[in-house]
Structure 1
């Protein structure tokens, strides 16, 4: 009879053979899902037979492993992922929220704001987190994709902030009126010539529209930086996530738009990740 430990060891080997660098972590998360327990409780059950949990646990686990070995993202297999301490539904219609984007949240929360605008919201991870962390705020979240807005709306509902976020189908500022204390965005920043180098999980399973501008990776920033001043309150802030080689170009765009106090912030790996600026006083 197969134990939890035996199943886990075999799963790690299978995923490593498929070229997955995160095999131990992924195997643990998928096994926990198949067993119906939290990943951090796997260690308590290492010597228990799989059949003690569910007669079909091994079948369910095998199915998840087969799909993961085919490079389906773990978030798609589990139906979501944790971001900034909260669970977000994730589907193939939206980008999988990355830990690096939590740096944008931390930077945004470092100063007060009453209103915010999230451009290209995708899963709603940024907008929903900002609203959840600052209960007195209201915001608007946009996306060109109706399917993405549906996912974001569901996340807002499940995390009890839907009454404070308006979801608008818009290409950047196209359908937006008014001004905001904070404008944030994690736009498509991968250049066309970089797409072939992406991991299969990203290249095959995430929406291309949210990954690349089909050009040099800077198109969205040109629009956002040029138009943002018209939508910012006095001393309002603009913050965008960037690719690690784009800081100089995006910083210059913000300066050219008349924004001041331009800053480049790094992620936990020390890579340039956020460019931020203020409206002048």
Structure 2
């Protein structure tokens, strides 16, 4: 019966040979997932025996990761903001860069009451914002029914079902409401660039969540058209940007009658979130302030 340490050595070597960065750490995460424990617990007793069934499941997980399937899809979980979320191959894996949008919302110092998340996927953005603003309610929309169902499961696990609803639809076309805050991490990769992305992304994450058309801006064109009818007076839209897209997206927004209220950079200094406002002012000045 193999021990924890031996399995981790073998697993780290296999992943390193497959070109995985941080191979030993990922092997530890996979074994912890198989054993339903934490990576820290594994390190306390490297001689602890691992049953044959668990060892076989670990080998199967290593095979999947060596084929460059994302770690999050193997474990079925990913962290975002302060939350742990269920993920699945029909949704984009939440990324740290996207947390920049939540930071931008927090930095405004304005508590939204009604929140809309377009292309919600796992529900990451909406649920993170709702976790920070206890008076807010929100709606997440995704084209894929299975994504909307997964986001609803995440809301239930996090105790946010009473404030979050999810529906499957073609973004804003089925909506007849206005919101204080509109969030979106739209597809923004130029179609021709997708095959050159990391194998984990190009081969395994949903193309529909990546493909922004020939120039990467198709989703922003749709958003610029929809946002004036979705934003309440005094409301703001916070959209994720691809690298170098802030100028083009700002121009699309201004052409639609929106104003650029600011940009926020990610930890690499890349403008990652753009804040857009409609020309309408809030009734009474503070109608949407917390």
Please give the range of the TM-score, normalised by the shorter of the 2 chains.
over 0.9
CA distance in 1, matches of 2:256, 2:162: 33
Structure 1 segment 1-281 matched on structure 2, within 5 A = 2-46=2-46, 48-51=47-50, 54-110=51-107, 111-280=110-279, 281=281
Task: Confirm or deny: 8 A CA contact 1:50 1:57 kept in the other structure.
Answer: no
- TM superposition shift of 1:141: 0.8
Task: Confirm or deny: 8 A CA contact 1:251 1:262 kept in the other structure.
Answer: no
- Which structure 1 segments of 5+ residues have no match? none
Q: Give CA deviations for 1:218-252 in whole Å, capped at 9, x if unaligned.
A: 01101112321221112111110011121111112
Task: Confirm or deny: 8 A CA contact 1:169 1:175 kept in the other structure.
Answer: no
- TM superposition shift of 1:170: 2.1
Task: Confirm or deny: 8 A CA contact 2:224 2:253 kept in the other structure.
Answer: yes
- TM superposition shift of 1:88: 0.9
Q: Give CA deviations for 1:142-183 in whole Å, capped at 9, x if unaligned.
A: 111111111111111111112222222222210011111000
CA distance in 2, matches of 1:68, 1:139: 35
CA distance in 1, matches of 2:131, 2:95: 18
- TM superposition shift of 1:279: 2.7
CA distance in 1, matches of 2:204, 2:57: 21
CA distance in 1, matches of 2:168, 2:3: 49
CA distance in 1, matches of 2:247, 2:25: 35
Task: Confirm or deny: 8 A CA contact 2:260 2:274 kept in the other structure.
Answer: no
Task: Confirm or deny: 8 A CA contact 2:253 2:260 kept in the other structure.
Answer: no
CA distance in 2, matches of 1:246, 1:59: 46
- TM superposition shift of 1:70: 0.9
Q: Give CA deviations for 1:172-218 in whole Å, capped at 9, x if unaligned.
A: 21001111100010011111110111112112211111110342210
Task: Confirm or deny: 8 A CA contact 1:168 1:175 kept in the other structure.
Answer: no
Give me the CA root mean square deviation. 1.6
**Which runs of structure 1 show a deviation greater than 3 angstroms over 4 or more consecutive aligned residues?**
none
CA distance in 1, matches of 2:210, 2:23: 25
What is residue 288 of structure 2 aligned with on the other side? none
CA distance in 2, matches of 1:234, 1:38: 47
CA distance in 2, matches of 1:63, 1:145: 29
- SS of 1:109's equivalent? helix
Task: Confirm or deny: 8 A CA contact 2:119 2:171 kept in the other structure.
Answer: yes
Provide TM-score, normalisation by structure 1: 0.93
- TM superposition shift of 1:261: 4.4
